[in-house]
């Protein structure tokens, strides 16, 4: 088994190649929809949409495993595009509240159906058992690196 991994130049390269294909599919879709957006911007904008009234910069950092500097930069870009607004939570001046603007909700509505189709495309041909095994393998690989 490990010899086969060596034949494909290591697991990292293989994971990177697959990730690039996924990202390219999303970027092509953004271009097709005429939305000037990066993968990072989509991930954070979508997460703000999911969190709703509880969306905060701190929660985005925590739940998306991105560092504060990267998150702050992307949030600033989303704000400059008028896709989100950034204010303070009432009664908590330490946390930034993030909310979708009208434009931001329009972007989510425009992209989300296509993102759902891209996610379905990713698992095409995989049954539930195969997909659950895939996730367990990824979790184990991640844990193997976290343990050190």
- pLDDT tens track for 36-85: 999 999 999 999 999 998 888 888 888 877 788 888 899 999 999 999 99
Enumerate the domain spans of the chain: 36-146
- Tens-place pLDDT, residues 12-28: 888 888 999 999 999 99
d(CA 48, CA 113): 17
Q: What share of the chain is helix, strand, coil (3-state, %, to 5)?
A: 70, 10, 20
Taking a C-beta distance cutoff of 8 angstroms, is the pair 55, 97 a contact? yes
- CATH 3.40.50.800 is the classification of domain 36-146: no
């Amino acid at each position: 088994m490990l010899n086969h991994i060596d034949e494909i130049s290591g697991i990292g390269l293989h994971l990177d190649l697959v990730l690039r294909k996924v990202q390219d599919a999303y970027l092509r879709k953004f271009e097709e929809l005429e939305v000037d957006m990066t993968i990072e911007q989509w991930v954070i904008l979508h997460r703000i949409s999911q969190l709703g009234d509880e969306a905060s910069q701190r929660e985005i950092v925590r739940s998306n495993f991105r560092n504060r500097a990267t998150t702050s930069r992307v949030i600033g870009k989303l704000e400059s595009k008028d896709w989100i607004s950034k204010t303070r939570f009432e009664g908590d001046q330490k946390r930034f509240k993030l909310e979708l603007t009208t434009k931001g909700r329009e972007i989510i509505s425009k992209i989300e159906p296509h993102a759902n189709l891209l996610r379905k495309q990713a698992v095409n041909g995989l049954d539930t058992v195969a997909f659950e095994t895939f996730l367990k393998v990824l979790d184990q690989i991640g844990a193997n690196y976290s343990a050190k």
